[in-house]
A and B are shown apart, each in its own frame.
Chain A
Amino acid sequence: MKKWILLGIIAIAFLLRVWNIGGVPASPDWDEAALGYNAYSILHTGKDEYGKFLPVVLRSFDDYKPALYTYLIIPLLPLLDLSVVAVRLPSVLLGTVTVFLTYILARILLKKDSLALLSAFLLAISPWHIQFSRIAFEANVALFFNVLMVVSLLLTRKKPWYIFISVIAAACAIYTYQSAKVFTPILFFIVIALYYKEFLQISKKYITAAVLVGLIVIAPMMFYIATNRQSLLRAQTTSVFYDTSNLADTTAKLAYDDAHHDVLGKIFDNRRVFYAQEVLLGYLSHYNLNWLFVTGDNPRHHAPNMGLLYLWELPFLLIGIYFLLYGPFERKSKLLILLWFLAAPVPASITTGVPHAVRTLNFLPTFQLFTACGLFFAYLRLSEWKITHYWRYGLVSLIAAFAAGNIIFYLDQYFVQLNYYYAKDWQYGYAQAMPIISANQDGYKHIVVTNKGPLDQSYMFFLFYLKYDPATYQAETKNASGGFAETHSFGKYEFRPFTIASENPTESTLFVGRPEDVVGGNILGKVSYPDGTDAIAVADKGTPHEQK
């Protein structure tokens, strides 16, 4: 019976993650396109778009992100070709496995099958987890590895050879996602510190071997970090200390303190105090109820009118935290879940743009564990409550109806409304523009494409949809830079800002841009967003000699 329920939950999880995976969200964003094309490039040439042989870190848009996800796409390419489905499928599959791992994790920690099934089910339908399991975001794969690491570390206590899985999973997490470099070691040491007595009893052979395996697996990354200073670039530019524009108040206060010889003021108004406040705020912002339940952050990180968790879960989350703290569970299990919950926002707290649903994806599945506890104990209490059956069933059906309504609302917001409202945020339009361009391009020597928002990094989408030969591309663009405002060119394509009115091409040129870029041109075709507004226009200058 339990097995069938579990299978059912996993089936639901897989269905919710795979259904219409190529169509919702409506378009890959630039990072997804880049992951796909780099996989394609490595498959065919062994090198990434910048000509780097088997990269450990992808330079992609000068982000310098760990490259593991790209390698997960490669085996799917012969089967599915370079497509949105191929790019997103690793996340779908590992996201589904995370649901299964959550079941195992909950069973080990909470020792109750019903709680474990409930936790897995809640993760299966979690808006937060569905969101990132349906797109090629490395954070979701890193989450899988983190949960795998914890589960296998816990299993190591009984079967020592699991230690190898946990060490490799930890290393894989670090090869997958930037913030795992901070979070994975924290999580690893939380588990070790809690259960150190049991780990000390494992034979030294295993531990030595595991340390060795770990060192070997992580060596290339260490070597890369030691030899490449750019790898720290991304970490620097997203940190709160990098942005000095918000120091104006502090500067004004310090000037006042100086003028008034206020020694205490110089201490209190110190920049370090200000940064400490900002970091603290960054951390705490992830416990903002609105962010969690109502608004979310970036439109790419949630469905319209939805937060990251269901509103109906809130009371059970609170009840669940209470009962997890005071309930009949092992002390260490309680501590592990609680510390995991408290450590999850640490990597994100020193970055700008908080709260951030991707950098704190490692919150999962702690919210689900709490909520499962809440549901379980609320039901238990309710059945002990001295009220008539009518009241009891009435109350349960009321809550169930609210939860069901909430879930249906979410599914509609995600599968129907998301494409309508957030198509622009998903950089919609390239797939639809490609046929227009290829139908018209024959008469033109050049094709100029804008790289102004929302069409930034347009070159990558063209590489992706054209399946442009990676060897040719690498040869054409030696030493190209990946910065945000850079122009790119390959073949007869050129990617730079333009307005058609101020362009005077000597040779026939086709222009692809935003509606405002092609004003005054001869419009050959248009792509609209699902809400009917114009997304991309294809045009030429319209002078007589260019017309066919």
Chain B
Amino acid sequence: MNKSILLISIVLLAFFLRFLHLGDVPPELNWDEVAWGYNAYSLSTDLRDEFGKFLPITYLESYGDFKPPVYAYLDIIPATLFGLTAFATRFPSAFFGSLTVLVSYFLVINLFPKSNRREWYGLATALFVAITPWHINLSRAAFEANVASFFIILGVTLFLYAMRKNPWLLALSAASFALTLYIFNTPRIVSPLLVLLLALSSYKELWNKKKQVVMALVVGLLITLPTVPFLLSPQASLRFREVNIFSDPDVVAISNQGIANDNNSYLSKAIHNRRVLYSLSYVKHYFDNFSPDFLFIHGDGNPKFSTQDVGELYIWDLPFFIAGIFLLAKRKEGKWWFVFLWLIAGIIPAATARETPHALRILTTLPTFHILIAYGFVTSAFFAKERIKQWRTVVTVTLVILLVNCLYYLHGYYTTYPYLYSGEWQAPYKESVAYVASVKDTYDQINITRKLGRPYMYYLFYTKEDPRIFRQTAIIARDPFGFVDVKGYDKYRFADDVFTIPTDSKKVLYVTQPGEVPETATIQKQFPLLNGQIGLVAFTVDQLPTKQATESAGKKR
């Protein structure tokens, strides 16, 4: 069979699985996605981000977080071509996600260059990445981690290829790695680690290629330099400080109690040092990412990252994953050890955070899991070929089981997943914004609840608001910690409790959750989730309810 046709089919399959109904499954955009989309739109309008910063390079300020900005730039072309839509917003992720499948193939070829089965390893890896729930879920929403993952894999592939064929390509590899620092947070740890591992693995060859190495260093440093001052600033570590496990005060209390229980003995102060418990906590969060439930049964607990009824990988993958580990360690083909070290390194940053396991933050390990699965599968298939007459039947039946796994996942993904979890994708916003924008002229002010999260961005996104008007009319509050709070713009006002917003005029439209609608309200329109539950209600009131009335209405729900 012609292997390049196989590869092309696999990549086409990857594109198909990532682009089919991209605009409406997942059902709506989550708040990070609309922020990417709108910032791209804003940049394409006047080269400024939503808050008016001119061509941000080191960070993009979004909901008080300082995000690496590349995704917004990648989104400019799709947003210009297709308009400000869900499809356009997700396009870069789906596109680079599909290309990840292709580059995974070349990665594997270059990891095992001398193996005569390298093409099979590569094809199997590409196929498993193409159909894996983990990568499909994350490629079908605007997750910048997914783009970062592409460039990491590209960087490794270029490095390996450069060492074998054309050392001048080292510069491209360096560029690719350096770029990841501008795409997502976790690569800021993982990329340098991988570069270090690669450099150590072939330091002798690198020594002989001084010119090219210097060139690569220059390119890498030039790209990295602009962001260095930012990386050292407190803003860069803001997110880390929010989510890290090393600020848990309980640990100190437990350590002190442990020492007291030992009557303050000398040895006790060593074993109950708080660093011991923090290390233990780190280990726990690290191991969380290997939990069988997460990997093979239910996936990430956050429905944005997983459909909840398939693991990040298929259960089919499990035996081949384990076989792959042992077979690769036994056969020691090519750069076998690099696969393991990459997998171990890819999880290091994610384990410092409280929420583990985390499909998005360990995406930097991609495609090491799939390489191991592919190695296990291909080696077993060849083993069968040597021993069993009907090996074709055995392999086919095994692949049919994988197909059933795959159909089970895809079926759930396109039917019950949007139905059950549309609320997780902020489903009622789109319809409600369309309605509110259509009746906006008949009201003096529109008060909107913030309880579903970041409504202002959805109004900007779905009404394609001119960013200049937003910047002129926006009421923005900043607290000393750097958090940004958009309290309103134009006629829109946002608050957790819509009745606390000062209203001078009488013509006010309220949009809030059903439980908070007072009895005296005149309901204008209701906005259901896909499962029929009402998510938001637009209404008017003749008289503002007192504080107690709101509370009792809330309690009734």
Contacts and interface: CB of A to CB of B under 8 A. Distances in A.
Interface of A: 249, 252-253, 256-257, 260, 262, 264-265, 268-269, 273, 277, 280-281, 284-285, 287-290, 293-295, 305, 311, 321-322, 325-326, 405, 408-409, 412, 416-417, 420
15 contacts: A252-B420, A253-B412, A257-B416, A268-B411, A269-B416, A281-B298, A284-B293, A284-B318, A289-B287, A290-B284, A290-B291, A305-B280, A408-B267, A416-B262, A420-B261
Contacts of A321: 326
Contacts, number: 91
B432 to A, nearest CB: 24
Contacts of B290: 288-289
Contacts of B287: 288-290, 293-294
Nearest to A273: B408
B258 A417 contact: yes
A281 B291 CA distance: 10
Interface in B403-460: 407-408, 411-412, 415-416, 419-420
B400 interface: no
Interface in B280-297: 280, 283-284, 287-288, 290-293, 296-297
Contacts of A277: 297, 309
B415 A262 contact: yes
A280 B315 contact: yes
Grouping DSSP codes into helix (H, G, I), strand (E, B) and loop, the B interface class, with mixed when no group exceeds half, is: helix
Given A284-B293, A285-B293, A322-B326, A257 B415 contact: yes
B411 A265 contact: yes
B257 interface: yes
A277 B412 CA distance: 15
Contact of B271 (A281, A289, A409): A409
B277 interface: yes
Nearest to A292: B287
A311 B283 contact: yes
Interface residues of B, number: 40
Contact of A281 (B284, B293, B531): B293
What 8 A-B pairs have minimum CB-CB distances, sorted nearest first? Answer: A284-B292, A289-B287, A253-B416, A281-B297, A290-B287, A294-B284, A409-B271, A420-B261
A450 B237 CA distance: 53
Interface in B297-345: 297-298, 308-309, 315, 318, 326, 329-330
Q: Which of B262, B271, B277, B326 has the most CB of A within 10 A?
A: B271
Interface of B: 254, 257-258, 261-262, 267-268, 270-272, 276-277, 280, 283-284, 287-288, 290-293, 296-298, 308-309, 315, 318, 326, 329-330, 407-408, 411-412, 415-416, 419-420, 531
B283 A420 contact: no
A420 B293 contact: no
Given A280-B297, A326-B330, A265 B416 contact: yes
A288 B283 contact: no
Contacts of B416: 252-253, 256-257, 265, 269
Nearest to B419: A256
A167 B229 CA distance: 74
Given A249-B309, A284-B293, A321-B326, 14 more contacts: A253-B416, A264-B411, A265-B415, A268-B407, A269-B416, A273-B408, A288-B287, A289-B287, A295-B284, A311-B283, A322-B329, A325-B326, A405-B270, A420-B261
Contacts of B272: 412
B284 A405 contact: no
A322 B293 CA distance: 24
Contacts of B309: 249, 277
Contacts of A326: 330
B296 A268 contact: no
A260 B420 contact: no
A474 to B, nearest CB: 43
Given A281-B293, A295-B284, A268 B412 contact: yes
A321 B329 CA distance: 12
A420 to B, nearest CB: 5
Q: Which of B290, B296, B415 has the most CB of A within 10 A?
A: B415
Given A265-B415, A325-B326, A409 B291 contact: no
Nearest to B272: A412
Contact of A412 (B268, B284, B407): B268
A249 B416 CA distance: 10
Contacts of A325: 326
A408 B271 CA distance: 8
B7 to A, nearest CB: 30
Contact of B276 (A409, A417, A420): A409
A417 B297 contact: no
Nearest to A406: B271
Contacts of B292: 281, 284-285, 287-288
A349 to B, nearest CB: 12
Contacts of B326: 321-322, 325
Contacts of A409: 271, 276
Given A290-B287, A311-B283, A412-B268, A417 B415 contact: no
B61 to A, nearest CB: 37
A326 B331 CA distance: 11
Nearest to A419: B261
B280 A260 contact: no
A520 B284 CA distance: 45
A307 to B, nearest CB: 9
Nearest to B276: A409
A323 to B, nearest CB: 10
A77 to B, nearest CB: 34
A353 to B, nearest CB: 15
A294 B420 contact: no
Contacts of A420: 257, 261
B297 A294 contact: no
A357 to B, nearest CB: 17
Nearest to B284: A294
A305 B415 CA distance: 43
Contacts of A253: 412, 416, 420
Nearest to B356: A290
A515 B419 CA distance: 48
A264 B407 CA distance: 9
A97 B300 CA distance: 44
Nearest to B286: A289
A256 B268 CA distance: 59
A19 to B, nearest CB: 17
Given A290-B287, A294-B284, A412-B268, A268 B408 contact: yes
Q: Which of A253, A264, A293, A311 has the most CB of B within 10 A?
A: A253
A175 B280 CA distance: 40
A207 B167 CA distance: 72
A311 B276 CA distance: 12
Nearest to B262: A416
Contacts of B298: 281
A405 B271 contact: yes
Contacts of A256: 415-416, 419
Given A257-B415, A262-B415, A412 B257 contact: no
Contacts of A252: 416, 420, 531
Nearest to B267: A408
Contacts of B276: 409
